[in-house]
A and B are shown apart, each in its own frame.
Chain A
Amino acid sequence: MTDALIAITVLWGFVFIYAVMATMDFGAGFWSMVYFNREKTKATNIANRYLSPTWEVTNTFIVALVVAVYSLFPTAAYTLGTILLIPGSIILLLLALRSAFLVFSNIAAEYRKPLTYISGITGILIPGLLISVLPITHGQFIDYSTGFAQLDLQKLFASPNVYAFIGFGITSTLFLSSLLLADYSKVSKEMEAYRVYLRDAMIFGPVSLIMAFLIMYTLKIEVAWLYDRMMEDLSLLLVSLLFFLIGGAGLFLPSFFEKGIRGMPRISMVAVTAQYLIASYVYGKSHLPYIVYPSVTIEAAFTDPNSFRAVFITYIVGFAILFPGFIYFWSLFMHDKRYLQHKNPKEGTR
């Protein structure tokens, strides 16, 4: 494996981790808004209980991702920075409103409703915009006629493929987050909330899969090179589909472990994560060696070897130091029954 390949793998890992964490984060914010008026189900409480301690950590990953791009592939950062000025700025503006109003909604109890609506709506738009970065890197919307790379926004918004990606981003967000919250509410023994989120996952799972097929269909028309290369790994895509079906079985079948309860969300969670991991691997592999097609390849954009070595060492040292912190965090907020089964309805907010 060349250094550039190692670097792009690290970057892909960050993208994947952030994608999963962000869908849960933005999705939880959205569900917290949707179920705001249905206090009895505690669905909003569950979403907030997950969201309050985690959003800062999730947000750090997006910064980590951007930093990884410019420290591993500085030349790509130049092109990406130029073409993503408009979409990137819109994402940043929405993200600022979303994060701030999320915090505000937890502090100003009387105004919680309008504040939750602002953070919920801005939040659900973000994954749609974030994922639009992928079709932008396919290159067909980039105009080089002025001598500099420029994003052709008109062409971008006329492309069915882009809308398929956006739809996939948003529905996947709703799917993964309802799945996570179903699991979270089951562990928290909030069975009404559990049923609500289980139903949502059952709806949005198939919808997100339809969106994935739509992406492939429009990709075939618009970006044939990528489609053809993805189809070379058809067997892996089918394995991914199989994991989706296992995830679905985990939702619909009665639980093997507990009597009288429908669904095993933990199994679905793992299976669906595997589904996305495999699919994104196939996509990423087909995308190589291009970061931005066809002008920026990983080899050409790669950083100085000395810098790469130094950065790579900090990754190892940094995550070795952070790992116990993540474990402790997880044990306090994802595992501790005292937190999960909090009796006080006004808990968990600052």
Chain B
Amino acid sequence: MNDIFIARSLFGTTMAFHIIFATIGVGLPLMILTAELTYQKTKNLEYVVMAKRWTKAFAVLLGVGIPTGTIAGVQLSLLWPGFMEVIGRVMPLPFQIEIYAFFIEALFMSIYVYAAERIAPWMRIASLILVALGALASAVLITNVHAFQGTPAGFRYEDGKFVDIDPWAAFFNPSFFVTAMHVALSAYVVGAFVVASVAAFKMLKNKYGSKLYHFHQKALMISLIVGGIASFLTAINGHAAAQYLHEYQPEKLAAAEGLFETQSHAPLAIGGFTDRETESVKWAIEIPWALSFLAGNSFDTVVVGLNDFPEEFWPPLFVHTLFNAMVGIGSLLILIAIFGILWKRLLKKDRFPKAFLWLLVASGPLAVAAIEFGWIFACTGRQPWVIYRILSTAQAATTATDLGILFILFVGVYIILAISVVFVLLYYFRKNTVLDDLQRAEEKSVPLFSSNS
């Protein structure tokens, strides 16, 4: 195995592990805020208890999300010094501003949790809004760097030198808004459906009509509404993101769709696996003309195929499958949310079919899988470039060798953290039941948010 492959595997593993916690870390604060605001409106203590329990889960997940994020940030410099040298010179602003977002999140998270009982209710809400904004801003800003990698701007590249640098033009690179929106919205999807998963599981485990059943049903409805809205908006934004690919990174779109020949009236291949030999997508459902329409809003749109590019610049062909898995899961989540809301609100039925509840249990892990697929697609789909048509991944990598042992060490630590975080969450929520928390919430004198055992 060559060193670049190990460096990519190591960084990829770090990111794959980190984004689980980072994404939930962006999504959960919105859920907590929704619960707090619902409480302010309904004065039903169950919503405070929800906010408390989600906050605890959030705090535990931050215990992994923050250090793995620190690893990711520093590993960028350690494994890709060539990349960070360019980023430092041309695109330092997102990282810089992200620091302030981290500070806001860290300061007000501690205030929300440890000073909960000492500050005014409006200050609690304000702290929570700042936590949610801080989390959102960090996601948006780090995605901005990713956007820049795909659509670099704000400099001229001449004879291997970066000249006429305009860091704000780099910051507002063409795909910033559409890419950042995609990550932010999909994080809300994940946060909502992870909650829905747990709530649905608890509804299956508790007797229909019991106090606990109703508690979890309320949590489920909040998450279906938030998740439904977010997943619908993600889909609309995803469409815009694909059109950006058509305009700025056509070979990435071609690889995502498994399109080899440049053509108008291009068909859309759904599912299947791209086959290099036959230059087609095997076992796919083809919808004639649809790709042209999606790419440029008209059937005449000419979509560029892979054959127009030298093969050394092709992204790996498996990205088609990843791309479709992401889109497929996203669409399924929209349908799940619509079905759940219609069933409860329109048909006024209080009891969900068992099969639907099991589907909801799967929805959280599916949502996480979708962001993993989407992220792997977005980054491997840019290969062989680390900055599109400016800097190749190979040029950016560290000159150090023998990275294998580091890879093993990091994977080992991620496994330890993964096992222990699951264990700690299960332990905590088994020790602190919903009923305990409801009782604490009713007795005003007992602290709720800082209670542990």
- Give residues 79-133 of B contacting A (CB, 8 Å): 79-82, 84-90, 92-93, 95-100, 102-111, 113-115, 118-119
Does B70 lie within 8 Å of A103, measured CB to CB?
Answer: no
Does B56 lie within 8 Å of A350, measured CB to CB?
Answer: yes
The residues of B that contact A332 with a CB separation of less than 8 Å are 111, 114-115, 118-119
Q: Does A54 contact B (CB under 8 A)?
A: yes
Q: Does A145 contact B (CB under 8 A)?
A: no
Q: Does B288 contact A (CB under 8 A)?
A: no
- Complexed CA–CA distance, A147 and B111 (Å): 51
| Given contact pairs A84-B78, A100-B63, A304 touches B89 in the complex (Cβ within 8 A) | yes
The residues of A that contact B119 with a CB separation of less than 8 Å are 332
Does A81 lie within 8 Å of B106, measured CB to CB?
Answer: no
CB closest chain-A residue, reference B95:
A67
Does B99 lie within 8 Å of A64, measured CB to CB?
Answer: yes
- Give residues 102-134 of A contacting B (CB, 8 Å): 102-104, 106-111
- Give residues 437-453 of B contacting A (CB, 8 Å): 447, 450, 452-453
What is the number of residues of chain B that contact chain A, defined by CB distance less than 8 Å?
76
The residues of B that contact A89 with a CB separation of less than 8 Å are 75, 78, 406, 409-410
CB closest chain-A residue, reference B166:
A306
The residues of B that contact A69 with a CB separation of less than 8 Å are 77
Name the segment of A176-184, A191-199, A222-230, A341-349 touching the other chain: A341-349
Q: Chain A's nearest CB lies how many Å from the CB of B79?
A: 8
- Complexed CA–CA distance, A109 and B430 (Å): 12
- Complexed CA–CA distance, A53 and B66 (Å): 14
Does A333 lie within 8 Å of B84, measured CB to CB?
Answer: no
The residues of A that contact B109 with a CB separation of less than 8 Å are 56
The residues of B that contact A78 with a CB separation of less than 8 Å are 81-82, 84-85
Does B162 lie within 8 Å of A304, measured CB to CB?
Answer: yes
- Complexed CA–CA distance, A80 and B79 (Å): 11
* Interface residue from B78, B88, B102, B406 paired with A63 (Cβ < 8 Å): B102
Q: Does A295 contact B (CB under 8 A)?
A: no
A: interface residue count bin: 35 or more
The residues of A that contact B417 with a CB separation of less than 8 Å are 96-97, 100
- Complexed CA–CA distance, A216 and B118 (Å): 49
Q: Chain A's nearest CB lies how many Å from the CB of B31?
A: 18
Q: Does B420 contact A (CB under 8 A)?
A: yes
| Given contact pairs A59-B67, A75-B85, A77-B88, A93 touches B97 in the complex (Cβ within 8 A) | no
Q: Chain B's nearest CB lies how many Å from the CB of A261?
A: 28
Q: Chain A's nearest CB lies how many Å from the CB of B87?
A: 7
CB closest chain-B residue, reference A151:
B400
| Given contact pairs A67-B96, A78-B82, A108 touches B77 in the complex (Cβ within 8 A) | no
From DSSP, what is the main secondary structure of chain A's interface residues?
helix
The residues of B that contact A88 with a CB separation of less than 8 Å are 74, 77-78
- Give residues 354-369 of B contacting A (CB, 8 Å): none
The residues of B that contact A315 with a CB separation of less than 8 Å are 96
Q: Does A159 contact B (CB under 8 A)?
A: no
- Complexed CA–CA distance, A314 and B77 (Å): 22
Does B420 lie within 8 Å of A96, measured CB to CB?
Answer: no
- Complexed CA–CA distance, A92 and B312 (Å): 35
Does B97 lie within 8 Å of A307, measured CB to CB?
Answer: no
Q: Does A157 contact B (CB under 8 A)?
A: no
| Given contact pairs A89-B406, A106-B452, A311-B92, A96 touches B71 in the complex (Cβ within 8 A) | yes
From DSSP, what is the main secondary structure of chain B's interface residues?
helix
Q: Chain B's nearest CB lies how many Å from the CB of A3?
A: 14
- Complexed CA–CA distance, A150 and B400 (Å): 7
The residues of A that contact B167 with a CB separation of less than 8 Å are 304, 306-307, 310-311
* Interface residue from A70, A103, A150 paired with B84 (Cβ < 8 Å): A70
The residues of B that contact A100 with a CB separation of less than 8 Å are 63-64, 67, 417, 420-421
Q: Chain B's nearest CB lies how many Å from the CB of A256?
A: 32
Q: Chain B's nearest CB lies how many Å from the CB of A336?
A: 7
Does A108 lie within 8 Å of B424, measured CB to CB?
Answer: yes
Does A95 lie within 8 Å of B106, measured CB to CB?
Answer: no
Q: Chain A's nearest CB lies how many Å from the CB of B4?
A: 14
Q: Chain A's nearest CB lies how many Å from the CB of B382?
A: 21
- Complexed CA–CA distance, A336 and B117 (Å): 13
Q: Does A62 contact B (CB under 8 A)?
A: yes
* Interface residue from A57, A77, A96, A350 paired with B107 (Cβ < 8 Å): A57
* Interface residue from A104, A329, A349 paired with B450 (Cβ < 8 Å): A349
Does B95 lie within 8 Å of A71, measured CB to CB?
Answer: yes
- Complexed CA–CA distance, A301 and B363 (Å): 49
Q: Does B404 contact A (CB under 8 A)?
A: no
Best-buried of B64, B99, B167 by chain A (most CB within 10 Å):
B99
The residues of B that contact A303 with a CB separation of less than 8 Å are 88-89, 92
The residues of B that contact A95 with a CB separation of less than 8 Å are 67, 70-71
CB closest chain-A residue, reference B88:
A74
- Give residues 373-425 of B contacting A (CB, 8 Å): 398-400, 406, 409-410, 413, 416-417, 420-421, 423-424
Q: Does A154 contact B (CB under 8 A)?
A: no
- Complexed CA–CA distance, A77 and B453 (Å): 46
Does B70 lie within 8 Å of A59, measured CB to CB?
Answer: yes
Q: Mark A318-339, 1 if CB is under 8 A from B, else 0.
A: 1001100110110011001011
- Complexed CA–CA distance, A172 and B70 (Å): 24
- Complexed CA–CA distance, A332 and B75 (Å): 34
Chosen A-B contacts, 27 in total, with CB atoms closer than 8 Å, are A57-B110, A59-B66, A63-B73, A64-B99, A67-B92, A71-B96, A74-B87, A88-B74, A89-B409, A93-B410, A96-B417, A97-B416, A99-B67, A106-B452, A107-B428, A107-B452, A109-B453, A110-B427, A111-B427, A150-B400, A306-B166, A314-B97, A315-B96, A325-B108, A329-B111, A336-B115, A347-B447
Could you tell me which A residues sit within 8 Å of B by CB distance? 52-54, 56-57, 59-60, 62-64, 66-67, 69-75, 77-82, 84-86, 88-89, 92-93, 95-104, 106-111, 146, 148-150, 303-304, 306-307, 310-311, 314-315, 318, 321-322, 325-326, 328-329, 332-333, 336, 338-339, 344, 346-350
Closest 8 CB pairs of A and B: A103-B63, A74-B88, A71-B92, A81-B81, A53-B110, A70-B88, A56-B106, A148-B399
Could you tell me which B residues sit within 8 Å of A by CB distance? 56, 59-60, 62-64, 66-71, 73-75, 77-82, 84-90, 92-93, 95-100, 102-111, 113-115, 118-119, 162, 165-168, 398-400, 406, 409-410, 413, 416-417, 420-421, 423-424, 427-428, 431, 447, 450, 452-453
Question: Told that A67-B96, A96-B68 touch, could you supply 5 new A-B pairs with CB distance under 8 A?
Answer: A53-B110, A80-B77, A85-B79, A107-B424, A325-B108
